[in-house]
Amino acid sequence: MTIHISARPGDIADTVLMPGDPLRARWAAEQFLDAPRCINETRGMLGYTGTWRGHRVTIHGSGMGMASLSIYANELIRDFGVRTLIRIGSCGGMQPHVKLRDVILAMTASAVSTPSSTILRELNFAPCADWTLLAAAAGAADARGIAPHVGGIYSSDTFYDERPDLNEEMTRHGILAVEMETAELYTLAARHGARALSVLTVSDHLQTGEALDSTARETGFADMVEIALAAAFPD
């Protein structure tokens, strides 16, 4: 048990999928896990442990933004021994060829700042995904007839961004999408010797202004969860 996670020793699996929304954690657990059991609801942040094809897995919310994710990822790794963390979340497309509902596998995550910046100081650390997870996710997507985009994303520390010039530069440099958590997740995994990956679904687009409604999001997110699970537990 930690300050933010009320789970007991043994309640949390070695592999954790992390959506930002705690209600999405509940939805994913009910939809994809066998015998899911709620193991945390402290401060409304829900976590569930069950099995997928015989493999024990936990699905736990991270909250919005790198500061919130940093709390949960740190405690999951340091206090519960989690070795594999896969973010499953939404993102905003930034390239013309990236469409709504597309799946993005984040190879790298650029950021202006992260909670870890105070530790790294002057170093511009390059957060990246675990290669074995990335390759497995790409294979899992292909097996499902899904062509994911694989490349760099941008982790913003603000939701209501007022830097159109920065967005233009991100697009110019090939950044596929923007979200708010991955750069810190990859940095923490590197620091603690864990594996991490972000599997994202494009829910809106910065260039076109398009956005999925809630029903369409739920349907589209199923592919993302299946890819994440298959990447964590390849045949």
Q: What is the pLDDT at residue 116?
A: 93
Q: Which of 11, 21, 157, 204 is catalytic?
A: 204
Residues of the chain with pLDDT under 70: 218-219
Total tally of structural domains belonging to the chain: 1
For residue 142, indicate whether it is catalytic: no
In the prediction, which pLDDT does 164 show?
A: 87
Kindly state whether residue 83 falls inside one of the protein's structural domains: yes
Q: Is 39 helix (H, G, I), strand (E, B) or coil?
A: strand
Residues belonging to the binding site for phosphate are: 20, 24, 43, 87-90
Q: What local confidence, expressed as pLDDT, does residue 219 receive?
A: 64
Predicted local distance difference test score (pLDDT) of residue 191: 97
Please report whether residue 5 resides in a domain: no
Please state, in angstroms and rounded to a whole number, the distance separating the CA atoms of residues 1 and 68.
18
Longest alpha-carbon distance in the chain: 48
pLDDT the model gives residue 1: 85
Give the per-residue pLDDT at 163. 85
Q: How far is CA 231 from CA 48, 98, 112, in A?
A: 19, 22, 29
Q: Is the pTM of this model over 0.85?
A: yes
Q: How far is CA 171 from CA 45, 77, 96, 123, in A?
A: 33, 33, 9, 24
Give whole-number Cα distances, 89 to 18, 80, 118, in Å. Answer: 8, 23, 26
- Give residue 210's pLDDT: 92
Q: Is the residue at 85 inside a domain?
A: yes
CATH number at 29 reads 3.40.50.1580
7 lies in a domain? no
Q: 23, 217 in Cβ contact below 8 A? A: no
In a domain, 46, yes or no: yes
Domain for residue 3, yes or no?
no
* Inside any domain, residue 116: yes
In a domain, 61, yes or no: yes
CB atoms within 10 A of CB 167: 18
Parallel/antiparallel/unpaired status of strands 55-60 and 47-52: antiparallel
Any idea what the Cα angle at residue 1 is, between residues 67 and 120, rounded to 5°?
30
Q: Which residues constitute the domain of residue 114?
A: 15-232
